[in-house]
Structure 1
Amino acid sequence: MIALAASLDINGDIVELGAGWGTLAFPLAKGFPHIRVTAVEISPVPFLFLQLRALVQKRANLEIVRRDILSVSLARAGLVTCYLYPDAMKKLKPKFENELQPGTVVVSNTFAVPGWEPSRVGELEDLYRTRIYEYRFSPPS
């Protein structure tokens, strides 16, 4: 997903919904030092790990927040990344449609946004041939 992000023209902040252990957030912050990266995680253990990791791997442009993914504003996002589960993607769809700016890129690992047509579907070279869905948001007509 880092290679995919590197190929994008990102106009706005990067928001990772469900940041987990920071496997994506930290490399994104390093790779895009001029862009604000927000890692959103609600689970206490991964959140604590993210906080500790941030003490060791300092990134001035990385903000770690402990919030529900549905409560975080996406209005300034140029790129939204997520690796969640089908029900979460279903719940995020109306949030995306209400908050994202036209042209915002949404990249989802494994799970598609229901009812949206991806602009690109990639496949990782891993054991599971994991699908990566890329969307360029345009408001529903």
Structure 2
Amino acid sequence: MKKVLILLIALCLTGCIVRNEDFESTCEVNNDTENISDNMSVHVTYDNEDIVKKAVVTRTYKALNDEGKATLEEIKTSATSFNEKYAGNENIKITVAKDEEDEWQLKYYLDVPNLDNDVLNEFMLRKNSVRFFNKMQDENIECD
């Protein structure tokens, strides 16, 4: 009887404690052509209530030949206008992580709860982690 009572008290106390844990996962999309390699990585941090707290979206472009270098310059130009659209948004931090002749890498640090759904859609994100992973699965994108 004493063991049952101790076990019951332990279960009650454990059930009353709310644990706030953060989980992380990374999903990667690779789109390679004969001239350029286009890789996107989405690293999300979410809590035990399935709320995505933050995300880091990394876009890496790598020229595979001389034509790819020309394409890379075009990508840089078009990305500039995309980045200018979000430059004033305090919930998005944009950095150029690598800028070389044959490789260019951008990182977007996103404060997901404070962004609207239209912005999140552009980065393939959702505020709810279950919906995010369902979208990744629908797009046949692997996540760890």
The TM tier, using the shorter chain, reads: under 0.3
Richer in strand (by share) = 2
Q: TM-score, normalised by structure 1?
A: 0.27
Q: Which has the larger radius of gyration?
A: 2
Q: TM-score, normalised by structure 2?
A: 0.27
Richer in helix (by share) = 2
